[in-house]
Structure 1
Amino acid sequence: MKNLTHYRKLTLSICLCSIVTFSNIYWLQPLLPQLQQDFQISSMAASLSMSASLFGMGLGLLFFASWSDAIGRCHILLVGTAVGLCISFLLPLVENYNVFLILRFIQGAFLAVCPAVAVPLLGDELRKSWLPAAVGFYIASNTIGGIASRLLAGVGAEYLGSWQASGYIIGTISAALFVVVHFSLPKQRHFTPSEFHLKTSLHDYTLHLKRPQLVIIYLIIGLGFGCFVNLSNYLMLVLEAAPYHLPSDIRSLMFLTLLGGTTSSSFAGKYARKHSLITGMAVGVCIMLVANLILGQTQLPLLILGMVLMAMGFFFCHAQASALVGRSVKKAKGSAQALYSLFYYTGASTGVFLLEPSYQTKGWHGILETTQFTLMICMALVVICQLLYLKNRKTSHQTA
């Protein structure tokens, strides 16, 4: 019974911490038009408010994943999340946009502590039979936090008249949830510290980056997530302008399409049991390409359908790619997954630099053309990945 109580408290704490983390990362996404108007900045500068936090998260993951192995996970989880949460209350007070971006970067770096230590912490403390369910709850919490914060931010900005008001709403709710996490998170029972060696860690990263197949997977997921996140960013700007003129509360409802990704993630495991993971990545990219074509239509129902398919395609590809990295690496799996996360978030944070020139010259259709070209590159990389896999398998058979 004590073990069951420990399981419930730990799982609840991790899930609530995940909601706090991704709420404070993504709440600004439906409010990019308001940021653009309030700070008198360009569309690219407004999108950087998302890019800065995601890039910070990518770098923070590398740091916290290694540090938590040496000093423990619970304390570092609470401190990192608390610092990131405090920055949420500072953001509405900032009048200089450069300072705003710096704070978003720092916030992303500290909030990276949850995705960095959540699954390892669950793995340390829970029985193997309980772990899959706990991780499933954690992943669902990521989605809940991201969607709920976008919806609340959109409604708050529309009815309270400013994006700053939305920031205080998200911050206050997050603070209440964090208090629950602070008092419910149990102490670690089974943590064994391991001495951190920078040289060894860098050596592991170097070995992974010398493997062409791994690098290709990293590039596919970086380009794919870059397309997905930034497509959503620019769609907010499009829906705010003519001919739609949608207010922020209605625009934010578009993020309910992310539930399509939640659905496709659940199918990804079943697909992988019968088919190869590389084929699964190709299926995901193909769905994204179909979605891209649908998004070229101007009717709002088709835009909604396109975003549902885009979410389904990306998260299907993401599930296959993440699993393929796990299967492809026998040593230093943690560093391999950390590199995956780094490319994942770096792709999201730098995608704006790829898409902004197209948006300035051709508007929404320029975004779709560039996204389509990028996804075709992803498909070519999937083919190369398959060829490398076949070559490696042939070599291993000959050696045997």
Structure 2
Amino acid sequence: MDVSTKNTNHKITLGMLIGSLVTFANLYGPQTFIQHFTHDFHMSASESSLALSISTFTLAFGMLVMAAISNTWGRKNIMVFSLVSSSILYLLVGFAPNFEVLLMIRAIEGFALAGFPAIAVTYLAEELSGNQFPKALAVYITGSGFGGFFGRIVSSSILDLSNWHTAVFVLGTLTLILSIIFIFLVEPSKNFIAQEFSIKNWIGGILAACKDTKLWFFYGLGFLALGVYVAMFNYIGFPLIKSFGLSQTIVGFIFIFQLMGSVGSMTVGKLSDRYTRGQMLFASLVVALIGISLTAVHHLPIVLLGLFVLSCGFFAWHNLVSGWVSSSAIPTAKAYASSIYLLFYYVGSSVVGTVGGHFYDADGWNGVVGIMIACCIIGFVLLGLVEMKLKKMIKHAAI
């Protein structure tokens, strides 16, 4: 590899790290404002959580659209549009005169955000070869976890010094600057071949992924995975501040467990040749269930341990199911199956994240723990059903 190509690859990798950071910082930044929205807009916790849920909901559907448009418009164009427009929209959130306008801006922002995660992996696969692709992909995935942490910690730190309006302005300005840096780092696609957009082919691919009945169990598991995870971190700030007297900045640092949770994903990789996906997913669900239960204990160190354990379980859970979707789908439907999985994944965060707020309003933190445990139990049921389905398919194939 010559020096020029090596430098280009490094710039692309750095650019994708920045793009991932911007995307997930903008998406999850308002999670730290939920307690403040309840006070400033005089509403319940479940209503306040819509500031996050509505963005993940529109992002989920936006990914299906953005992936198709990029085949015509170009990979970098879509990614730049996504990063710059979402950062500008994030800045506008701070000027919203009421919560209804705030939600409208966040809904549009979620759709705009979809452009980057929908295209990033495809761009890397097209532009990088050999061992450069998996290395860059690992950096991109790391950026998604770090981006969520970055958005929350910046917001939390500013909240202790000022108000959420200022926190929005600071984070929005930072992500806009980073988006501009991305433009200069990442070069236009060299290996991209524009295609004419066909609604018929797009719908046909989606229908093919929907007709495969076993995939619906995976879609359901994805729905539950991020739903549980987001519900936990949406509302854990309430007991940490009210019951344990932690400051907003310290609560922001609690999100470091989301980075540490990648231990779960790495463990799955190491054990993949010793255990089946089903066995490891069962263990991941058990780990998540233990983590959730620990947060119900009124002792701060145990609550923090519970957050870490749940994060490990979640990362392993998502890693296993997303990989299972890709390997189980028929070749012509793999890309669409992965897109639909991500659709359910993000819709799950919107639905369970908001429903968790109703349980918090009704029964405090124990109510949130209850709904998360119920989701894990449903996860065990879905895992059992998909394994029965796969065994039946293998039996029929052998006849």
Q: Which runs of 5+ in 2 are unaligned?
A: none
- 8 Å contact kept, 2:84–2:180: no
Equivalent of residue 145 in structure 1, options 141, 144, 147: 147
Number of equivalences? 396
* Alpha-carbon distance between aligned partners in 2 of 1:154 and 1:354, rounded to the nearest angstrom: 24
- 8 Å contact kept, 2:224–2:379: yes
Give the structure 1 partner of residue 36 of structure 2.
Answer: 34
Give the structure 2 partner of residue 258 of structure 1.
Answer: 258
* Alpha-carbon distance between aligned partners in 2 of 1:194 and 1:341, rounded to the nearest angstrom: 23
Tell me the CA shift for residue 280 of structure 1.
Answer: 2.0
* Alpha-carbon distance between aligned partners in 2 of 1:74 and 1:27, rounded to the nearest angstrom: 24
* Alpha-carbon distance between aligned partners in 2 of 1:338 and 1:82, rounded to the nearest angstrom: 23
1:25 aligns with 2:27: yes
- 8 Å contact kept, 2:67–2:119: yes
- 8 Å contact kept, 1:33–1:240: no
Range 379-388 or range 365-374, more displaced: 365-374
1:324 aligns with 2:324: yes
Give the structure 2 partner of residue 154 of structure 1.
Answer: 156
Equivalent of residue 86 in structure 2, options 74, 84, 90: 84
Compared with structure 1, are the counterparts of its residues 177 and 331 closer, same or farther at alpha carbon in structure 2 (3 Å cutoff)?
same
Write the deviation string for residues 351-380 of structure 1: whole angstroms up to 9, x where unpaired: 134323322222111111121112101111
Q: Which runs of 5+ in 1 are unaligned?
A: none
- 8 Å contact kept, 1:278–1:321: no
1:277 aligns with 2:266: no
Q: Percent identity?
A: 26
Range 69-78 or range 271-280, more displaced: 271-280
Per the normalisation by structure 2, the TM-score is 0.96
Tell me the CA shift for residue 66 of structure 1.
Answer: 1.2
Give the structure 2 partner of residue 72 of structure 1.
Answer: 74
Tell me the CA shift for residue 245 of structure 1.
Answer: 3.0
- 8 Å contact kept, 1:32–1:237: no
Computed over aligned residues only, the root mean square deviation of the Cα atoms, in angstroms, reads 1.3
- 8 Å contact kept, 1:261–1:311: yes
- 8 Å contact kept, 1:294–1:302: yes
1:190 aligns with 2:176: no
Tell me the CA shift for residue 238 of structure 1.
Answer: 2.2
Tell me the CA shift for residue 42 of structure 1.
Answer: 1.2
The amino acid that maps onto 1:316 is A
Give the structure 2 partner of residue 124 of structure 1.
Answer: 126
SS in 1 for 2:244: coil
The amino acid that maps onto 2:120 is A
Give the structure 2 partner of residue 200 of structure 1.
Answer: 201
Give the structure 1 partner of residue 249 of structure 2.
Answer: 249
Tell me the CA shift for residue 151 of structure 1.
Answer: 1.0
1:54 aligns with 2:76: no
Per the normalisation by structure 1, the TM-score is 0.96
SS in 1 for 2:332: coil
Range 60-69 or range 256-265, more displaced: 256-265
SS in 1 for 2:94: helix
Give the structure 2 partner of residue 312 of structure 1.
Answer: 312
Aligned pairs (5 A) from 1:225-240? 225-240=226-241
Give the structure 2 partner of residue 115 of structure 1.
Answer: 117
Tell me the CA shift for residue 258 of structure 1.
Answer: 0.8
- 8 Å contact kept, 1:272–1:320: no
- 8 Å contact kept, 1:154–1:252: yes
The amino acid that maps onto 1:372 is I
The amino acid that maps onto 2:176 is A
Give the structure 2 partner of residue 172 of structure 1.
Answer: 173
The amino acid that maps onto 2:327 is R
Moved over 4 A (4+): none
The amino acid that maps onto 1:318 is H
Give the structure 2 partner of residue 105 of structure 1.
Answer: 107
Write the deviation string for residues 237-289 of structure 1: whole angstroms up to 9, x where unpaired: 22232x22322111111111112321211222222232222222211111111
- 8 Å contact kept, 2:50–2:354: no
- 8 Å contact kept, 2:44–2:361: no
* Alpha-carbon distance between aligned partners in 2 of 1:99 and 1:140, rounded to the nearest angstrom: 33
The amino acid that maps onto 1:202 is I
Aligned pairs (5 A) from 1:389-400? 389-398=390-399
* Alpha-carbon distance between aligned partners in 1 of 2:260 and 2:236, rounded to the nearest angstrom: 17
* Alpha-carbon distance between aligned partners in 2 of 1:311 and 1:348, rounded to the nearest angstrom: 15
- 8 Å contact kept, 1:61–1:112: yes
- 8 Å contact kept, 2:285–2:376: yes
Write the deviation string for residues 8-29 of structure 1: whole angstroms up to 9, x where unpaired: 1111111111111111111111
Tell me the CA shift for residue 108 of structure 1.
Answer: 1.1
* Alpha-carbon distance between aligned partners in 1 of 2:146 and 2:362, rounded to the nearest angstrom: 36
The amino acid that maps onto 1:18 is S
